[in-house]
Amino acid sequence: MNSRDDSLEALPLRDDLRGLSPYGAPQLEVRVALNTNENTHPVPEPVVRAVTRRVTDTAASLNRYPDRDFTNLRTALASYLGHELTEDNLWAANGSNEILQQILQAFGGPERSVLSFVPTYSMYPLLALGTGTRFIAGERAADFSLSAESAARQVGEHAPNIVFLCSPNNPTGTALGLDVVEAVYEAGEDRNTIVVVDEAYAEFARFGTPSALTLLPGRPRLIVTRTMSKAFALAGARLGYFAADRSVADAIRLVRLPYHLSSVTQATALAALEHHETLLGTVEDIKLQRDRIVDELKRLGLTPAESDSNFVFFECGGDAHAMWQGLLDQGVLVRDVGIPGHLRVTAGTEAETTAFLEAVESYLARS
């Protein structure tokens, strides 16, 4: 055994996993980390105290398994979302990535397929792979937009078992019109296709952008997923959830691991929801910084996409990797999403955003 690769090679790994690399946004020590779309504001002090109190209260009973159905949490999530949802419509897991995995476990798997429209969230193909579901890369227009007509046509063409719609889309940042969701849902009628709208960034959407939650009544195959990792500034807590017809949650109960949501996670999420107004207090500031990035990048002669999220996708007018490195050399880490000529940057605090913009300006001046 002369290297880690050789030892991995020697293991009886599944053929479809051989030679692959794990998901890996670099976790580098840098001055300004704007590469994974976290909320870069620390958790506010009152929320820290509330989480601490609730977690302390649960500590003595950690000898017991948690509430398997996390009923209090589902009730709190339903009340946060509104739209006349009840706890029966809600489900939660360790991050919305686990939510998506559970959806694939219940509705995908061998001989089944999931369609999404690339470029989109890079975890979709990996989650499909892990669950043995065939991933179909649907197309977008040259400007990365997706029309209702094109999406519905592709659903008809591929007849997938599941469709993932990311809105606002990562990495491009723009939200989909609800007409796209409606058209995809209708196009999936024959095949009984499950339609998932991943709204990880919904809280950052521009004013007047409607949520797919409004489409849930009467659509039992529609699932809207959300997360506490972005606007809620709780990426470390690992809490994602969905709203759907109650039968969908019943289906997921067949594949979830027993007691998958720890008592500590449930306590943390409950404290966060109790203080959601404080936690979401940074959202308006982040949206200001995002709009500032869009305006400033335009002024510098680059081409940013309009954003409904806490990040900006932009055409950098040259070699994206060289610019990524040029920014990193100045202590600013952004994301090279592998799309030629484009980079993605998270809107941080005002100071982080300033550091990013100054780094871009100085890079452009030198190149």
- Interface contacts to ligand PLP, rule CB under 6 A: 37, 95-97, 121, 166, 170, 198, 200, 227, 229-230, 235, 240
> Nearest approach, Cβ of 228 to ligand PLP (angstroms)?
7
Distance between first and last Cα of the chain: 45
What's the min distance (Å) between Cβ of 244 and ligand PLP? 16
Helix (H), strand (E), coil (C) string for the chain: CCCHHHHHHHCCCCHHHCCCCCCCCCCCCCCEECCCCCCCCCCCHHHHHHHHHHHHHHHCCCCCCCCCCCHHHHHHHHHHHCCCCCHHHEEEECCHHHHHHHHHHHHCCCCCEEEEECCCCCHHHHHHHHCCCEEEEECCCCCCCCCHHHHHHHHHHHCCCEEEEECCCCCCCCCCCHHHHHHHHHHCCCCCCEEEEECCCHHHCCCCCCCHHHHCCCCCCEEEEEECCCCCCCHHHCCEEEEECHHHHHHHCCCCCCCCCCHHHHHHHHHHHHCHHHHHHHHHHHHHHHHHHHHHHHHCCCEECCCCCCEEEEECCCCHHHHHHHHHCCCEECECCCCCCEEEEECCCHHHHHHHHHHHHHHHHHC
At closest approach, how far in Å is the CB of 203 from ligand PLP?
12
Q: Could you tell me the smallest distance in angstroms from the CB atom of residue 27 to ligand PLP?
A: 14
Distance of closest approach, residue 146 Cβ to ligand PLP, in angstroms: 15
Give the nearest distance from C-beta 307 to ligand PLP in angstroms: 13
Closest distance of CB 171 from ligand PLP, Å: 8
Residue 166 vs 183, nearer CB to ligand PLP = 166
Q: Which is nearer to ligand PLP, 113 or 346 (CB)?
A: 346
Q: Looking at beta carbons only, is 96 or 102 nearer to ligand PLP?
A: 96
- 96/268 with CB nearer ligand PLP: 96
The residue of the chain with the least Cβ separation from ligand PLP equals 95
Nearer to ligand PLP, 235 or 255 (CB): 235
Nearer to ligand PLP, 36 or 354 (CB): 36
User: Smaller CB distance to ligand PLP: residue 54 or 230?
Assistant: 230
